[in-house]
């Protein structure tokens, strides 16, 4: 009984020892496993921490870049604000300038319109004073001029006869200053008739208007090719037949030794073969013209062969004091200004065209 109990007791002790050993081993294994897990977890955490540090560094760099960009944007935004404020100010100033410019343009156009009116009135003046047929005052002279024209196979106009008719009607030379108190004033035909004459340009204007009146009579039944002028030539004392029937007024500075009264400034009438329609026609027509002295109604000379006066073309600066600087046609007055920046013949129609061009460019 004692031994059986002891055996059982020993068995229990042995079992307990084995169980304890097992539990110890399990505990050791668990601890080892925990240590290994802890080490693995630590390593994983270290890797993740390294990644987090790396990500944190990237984020920090990105933050710095973003901060820099933000500061740049702030500066640019301020610059834009300043620029916008400046543009607003400039816009206000520009708007004011545009209003001022618009007003100046309108005023300039208004002045150009006034200028055009003056030019058009001047052109109309020359048209109206191109023929005595437009004036009732010359009724008596018109009737007397009929004997200055002869209708044959050709229609012949006696240039000396025109002068004689004027002399019979007491048309005489008077300078503008003594007649009307002005210098170099071109009278109209009505005033010339009222004052019984005028100076050299007035004589030339009247002479051309009388010639045009006779020319119109010829043109009723004759062509221009059938119309001739007869002029007395003092040097040869013979009658000269002139087949040129466009008459113009030429004025300039003549050699004072060769002009009536030893006056340098003088006007004559020039007969050309073809009409002068623009400033570009002046030189080529006048240089081939026949000159007539209206104050005596006689042949004066050929423009291309006289030593008394010259005519120059565009862009030619005169090399003498004696040259034509005015040409008056039936609807224009052409001037040759040798002192202008651009030396050229220019008339009222040219000024009118330039005015229209300026207005057109301003409109754009």
CATH of the domain at 301: 3.10.620
Query: What mean pLDDT comes out for the span 112-120?
Result: 74
In this prediction, residue 194 has a pLDDT band, given cuts at 50, 70 and 90, of very high
Tokens in use for 73?
A: 């944007």
Q: What is the pLDDT of residue 16?
A: 62
Number of domains in the chain: 1
Q: What is the pTM of this model?
A: 0.71
Q: Which residue has the tokens 């062509």?
A: 223
Q: pLDDT by residue (tens digit) across 71-106?
A: 777 787 788 788 778 877 877 876 777 666 656 655
Identify whether 44 is part of a domain: no
Q: Residue 11 domain-assigned?
A: no
The answer as to whether 76 is a domain residue is: no
1 has a pLDDT exceeding 50: no
Over the chain, what is the mean pLDDT? 84
Range with the poorest average pLDDT among 45-54, 120-129, 249-258, 349-358: 45-54
Range of the domain at 283: 129-363
Residue with tokens 């340009």: 201
Beta-carbon contacts of residue 141 (< 8 Å; ≥ 6 apart): 132, 165, 166, 169, 210
Averaged pLDDT, 203-225: 97
Q: Is residue 121 domain-resident?
A: no
Q: What is the pLDDT of residue 105?
A: 55
Confidence of residue 183 (pLDDT cuts 50, 70, 90): low
Mean predicted confidence (pLDDT) in 46-75: 75
Lowest-confidence region among 24-33, 146-155, 304-313: 24-33
Higher pLDDT, residue 180 or 199: 199
Both tokens of 46, joined, read 């270290």
**Comparison of pLDDT for 192 and 40, the residue scoring more:** 192
For position 283, what pLDDT does the model report? 97
Long-range contacts, 322-326 (Cβ 8 Å, 24+) = 322/252, 322/253, 322/254, 322/255, 322/264, 323/252, 323/253, 324/250, 324/251, 324/252, 324/286, 325/251, 325/252, 325/253, 326/249, 326/250, 326/251, 326/252, 326/267
Residue 122 lies in a domain: no
354 in a domain, yes or no? yes
Does 112 have pLDDT greater than 60?
Answer: no
**Mean pLDDT value of segment 206-235:** 96
Position 231 in a domain: yes
pLDDT at position 306 over 80? yes
Give me the pLDDT at residue 98, please.
63
Q: Where are the beta strands (DSSP E) in the chain?
A: 149-151, 155-158, 172-173, 197-198, 227-233, 238-242, 246-253, 265-272, 290-293, 298-302, 324-328, 333-336, 345-347
Q: Is residue 4 part of a domain?
A: no
Confidence of residue 109 (pLDDT cuts 50, 70, 90): low
The region of weakest confidence among 96-110, 132-146, 158-172 is: 96-110
pLDDT in tens, 323-360: 999 999 999 999 998 888 899 999 999 888 887 887 77
Confidence at residue 75, expressed as pLDDT on a 0 to 100 scale: 83
Say what percent of the chain tops pLDDT 90: 50
């Amino acid at each position: 009984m004692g031994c059986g109990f002891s055996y059982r007791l020993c068995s229990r002790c042995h079992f307990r020892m084995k169980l304890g050993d097992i539990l110890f081993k399990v505990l050791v294994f668990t601890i080892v496993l925990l240590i290994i897990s802890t080490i693995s977890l630590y390593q994983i955490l270290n890797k993740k921490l390294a990644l987090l540090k790396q990500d944190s560094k990237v984020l920090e760099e990105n933050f710095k870049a973003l901060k820099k960009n933000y500061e740049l944007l702030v500066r640019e935004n301020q610059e834009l604000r300043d620029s916008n404020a400046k543009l607003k100010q400039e816009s206000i100033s520009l708007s004011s300038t545009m209003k001022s410019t618009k007003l100046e343009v309108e005023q300039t156009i208004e002045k150009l319109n006034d200028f055009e009116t003056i030019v058009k009135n001047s052109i109309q003046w020359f048209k109206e004073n191109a023929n005595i047929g437009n004036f009732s005052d010359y009724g008596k002279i018109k009737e007397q001029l009929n004997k200055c024209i002869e209708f044959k196979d050709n229609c012949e106009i006696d240039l000396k006869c025109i002068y004689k008719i004027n002399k019979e009607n007491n048309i005489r030379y008077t300078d503008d200053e003594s007649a009307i108190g002005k210098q170099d004033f071109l009278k109209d035909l009505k005033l010339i008739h009222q004052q019984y004459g005028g100076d050299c340009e007035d004589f030339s204007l009247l002479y051309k208007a009388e010639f045009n009146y006779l020319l119109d009579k010829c043109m009723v039944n004759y062509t221009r090719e059938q119309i001739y002028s007869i002029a007395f030539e003092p040097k040869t004392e013979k009658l000269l037949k002139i087949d040129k029937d466009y008459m113009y007024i030429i004025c300039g500075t003549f050699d004072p030794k060769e002009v009536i009264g030893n006056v340098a400034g003088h006007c004559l009438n020039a007969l050309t073969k073809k009409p002068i329609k623009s400033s570009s026609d002046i030189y080529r027509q006048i240089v081939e013209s026949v000159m007539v002295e209206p104050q005596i109604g006689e042949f004066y000379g050929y423009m291309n062969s006289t030593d008394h006066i010259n005519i120059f073309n565009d862009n030619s600066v005169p090399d003498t004091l004696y040259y034509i600087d005015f040409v008056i046609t039936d609807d224009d007055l052409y001037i040759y200004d040798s002192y202008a920046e651009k030396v050229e013949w220019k008339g009222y129609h040219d000024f009118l065209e330039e005015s229209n061009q300026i207005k057109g460019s301003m409109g754009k």
